[in-house]
Amino acid sequence: MFVYIHVPFCSNICAYCDFPKVLYDKKYIDRYLERLDEEIDARYKGEKVGSIFIGGGTPTSLSYQELERLLKLKDKLCLDSDIEFTIESNVECLNEEKIKLLKKYGVNRVSLGVQSFDDSVLKDLNRHHTGADVFRVVDMLKSVGIFSISIDLIYGVRDDIDIVRDDINNFLKLDIPHVSCYSLIIEDNTLYGVNNREYIDDDIEYKMYTFISNTLEEHGYKHYEVSNYAKEGYYSLHNINYWDNGEYYGFGMGAVSYVNSNRISNTRNLSKYLKGDMVDSIIYEDKETSMSNSIILGLRKVKGIEVLEFNLRYGVDIINLYNIRELIDEGKLVYKNGYLYIATDYYYVANDILVNFV
């Protein structure tokens, strides 16, 4: 089983962010941690846990004592010996003391929200760190023995490919095994959305995408999912389970669980969550919905869907579903060596293909 714990607090709100989050306010933290504790007690059935992912928000925006209380929640779970234990952090939220605390509680993977190394882009995004800070924090993580480090990058904030080149070169200098690269998405209820910010030109964005994937592949990073690249052995287990449409618990405000064919969505409203009114909806997924999700999520992986496994799981032949045969004939999907996957040339427009299966 996989466990996701959501901590919605952030020390500042980024201009593009659409995640369930609120500004850090000390008066809510203890109550939030109590509710998390209660939610785990109420819903967790004692399954062996192979991965914990604490995301947000910014879990490390909590004070040292609050963070320690959060990390202690892992003692409520029955853990595999070789568990992947990830925490998300912003660069400016980590110091030596907090990093040692993460290490003490068994965190072995840190996902850093970097977005860019360019200080003017960071300002535009309303991020509160500098490019130089990233190098300092990565060195601190390595010095306590946390080497499984990932960073998030956003491209397309400006229409300047040189910024993307610098970002990727700086990432390579960090010598860490994982990076997620997202194109900027402008959501309505964000500062960028409200200010009617416009997207950069499609062709320039495509050049950026091509530069990123070619350069990372040349340097030994495998493009293993639409937006994710990693050295062999460092793929995110937590995310792979998600793309395999596997089961997982999601605890915390706005978190989603997938257990016994039920998709359980928690409220995105902090005061409701704090009152204990946690669940917003429970939707039972029938076979058709589950198949659709398995295809949409599975095709996000570069290696695609293992056809035999899919066919055994659902008792159907995937090739006969939807317009899959037609998409293979058009060269958009490939069926080879037992896997069904999106053809490399169509990877950039993966979402246009995935809508066929909604």
Min dist. Cβ of residue 195 to ligand SF4 (A):
16
CB of residue 90 to ligand SF4, shortest distance in Å: 5
129 in contact with ligand SF4 (CB under 6 A): no
Answer yes or no whether residue 250 interacts with ligand SF4 by CB under 6 A: no
Residue whose structure tokens are 């995301």: 55
Q: Which is nearer to ligand SF4, 90 or 148 (CB)?
A: 90
Question: How far apart are the C-alpha atoms of 142 and 137, rounded to whole Å?
Answer: 9
Instruction: State how beta strands 148-155 and 256-259 pair.
Output: unpaired
Judged by CB under 6 A, which of 1, 7, 10, 94 binds ligand SF4?
10
Identity at 249, one-letter amino acid code? Y
Stretch that binds ligand SF4, among 56-64, 162-170, 224-232, 252-260 (CB under 6 A): 56-64
Under the criterion CB under 6 A, does residue 59 sit at the interface with ligand SF4? no
Closest CA to 13 of 269, 190, 133, 162: 190
Q: Tell me whether residue 127 or residue 223 sits nearer to ligand SF4 (CB atom).
A: 127
Q: How many residues bind ligand SF4 (CB under 6 A)?
A: 11
* Complex with ligand SF4: residue 14 or 299, whichever CB lies closer: 14
- Least distance from C-beta 117 to ligand SF4, angstroms? 17
Query: Quick check: 90 binds ligand SF4 (CB under 6 A)?
Result: yes
Contacts to ligand SF4 from residues 328-347, by CB under 6 A: none
- Identify which of residues 254 and 304 has a Cβ nearer to ligand SF4 in the complex: 254
56 binds ligand SF4 (CB under 6 A): yes
Q: Which residues within the stretch 12-51 sit at the binding site for ligand SF4 (CB under 6 A)?
A: 13-14, 17, 19, 21
- Is residue 113 close enough to count as binding ligand SF4 by CB under 6 A? yes
55 binds ligand SF4 (CB under 6 A): no
Q: Which is nearer to ligand SF4, 179 or 295 (CB)?
A: 179
| CB within 8 Å of 272: residues ≥ 6 apart | 278
- Judged by CB under 6 A, does residue 58 bind ligand SF4? yes
Extract the tokens encoding 197.
Answer: 């910010």
End-to-end CA distance of the chain: 26
C-beta closer to ligand SF4: residue 9 or 248: 9
What span, in angstroms and rounded, lies between the C-alpha atoms of 123 and 89? 18
CB 183 → ligand SF4: shortest distance, Å?
15
Indicate the residue among 114 and 318 with the shorter CB distance to ligand SF4.
114
**Which amino acid is it at 93?**
C
Choosing from 40, 57, 86, 254, the residue that interacts with ligand SF4 (CB under 6 A) is 57
Residue 14 CB, nearest approach to ligand SF4 (Å): 3
Q: How far is the CB of 151 from ligand SF4 (least distance, A)?
A: 13
Tokens representing residue 212 in the block = 């990123």
**Closest chain position to ligand SF4 (CB):** 17
Nearer to ligand SF4 by Cβ, of 58 and 241: the residue is 58
Query: Please, what is the minimum distance in Å from the beta carbon of residue 57 to ligand SF4?
Result: 5
> Footprint of ligand SF4 on this chain (CB under 6 A)?
10, 13-14, 17, 19, 21, 56-58, 90, 113
